[in-house]
Structure 1
């Protein structure tokens, strides 16, 4: 499957593997599907709980982008979990600020884009 790899900067022929390879120390993840870029060794998880597995969760991030995405969710998730805004409203607000029709954290492709999203969600959290 061709998936955008942030480290390689292009669509790559990713290889489907399992958590046994990606997280050998995590038995609980051993059967989950992942797409891996064999050039840079980065990977992305799959929508394994949907009717169409193994659809990738998004593009293949670098470790820095993956960390940035996690930081965004630490701010973004409490907004909708507190019921101040619905999850759909939060994602719509982020998309509007970015000038996009939709937004999903898994589509962040650069650290710069992650910084922009982080600023937006920090403002929404206030």
Structure 2
């Protein structure tokens, strides 16, 4: 699989995650000049989303912090939470996954989920 870095346009390397975490958690695609990486589905070379630099990784963590509460609190299933989010973001369900999002999408996740929790009785 050829994964191209969206920051520099060069191919990412398929390497062990110990290159960035100092401990192996499996394989990743890694662009060293951009300090961007993405994990892969276990046992495959299929990326879990898009390469993420430091800024995007920060926003993905924030998005997950707010979004994951929807399904971890048992308020709704994980599948239902992503379906709800797809409606909020006006994206097809198949394209609604934080791993695929850019910074703008992640900021929007934080906004809509924060508003959801704020408006709860």
Could you say whether these structures have the same fold, taking a TM-score greater than 0.5 normalized by the shorter chain as the test? yes
Q: How many residues align?
A: 116
TM-score for both structures, normalised by structure 1: 0.80
Equivalent in the alignment of 2:14: 16
Unaligned runs of at least 5 residues, structure 2: none
Alignment RMSD: 1.9
The answer on whether the counterparts of 2:35 and 2:54 sit within 8 Å (CA) in structure 1 is no
Cα distance change of structure 1 residues 32 and 124 upon mapping to structure 2, 3 Å threshold = same
Cα distance change of structure 1 residues 68 and 31 upon mapping to structure 2, 3 Å threshold = closer
Q: For residue 53 of structure 1, give the secondary structure of its aligned residue in structure 2.
A: coil
Q: CA deviation at 1:46?
A: 1.2
Q: For residue 69 of structure 2, give the secondary structure of its aligned residue in structure 1.
A: helix
Q: Does 1:87 align with 2:78?
A: yes
Q: Does 1:41 align with 2:32?
A: no
TM-score for both structures, normalised by structure 2: 0.83
Q: Which runs of 4+ in 1 moved over 4 A?
A: none
CA distance in structure 2 between the partners assigned to 1:59 and 1:32 by the alignment: 17
CA deviation map 1:71-124 (0-9, x unaligned): 111111121111111111111111111111121001112x22221121112123
CA distance in structure 1 between the partners assigned to 2:33 and 2:104 by the alignment: 23
More strand by share: 1
Equivalent in the alignment of 1:101: 92
Unaligned runs of at least 5 residues, structure 1: none
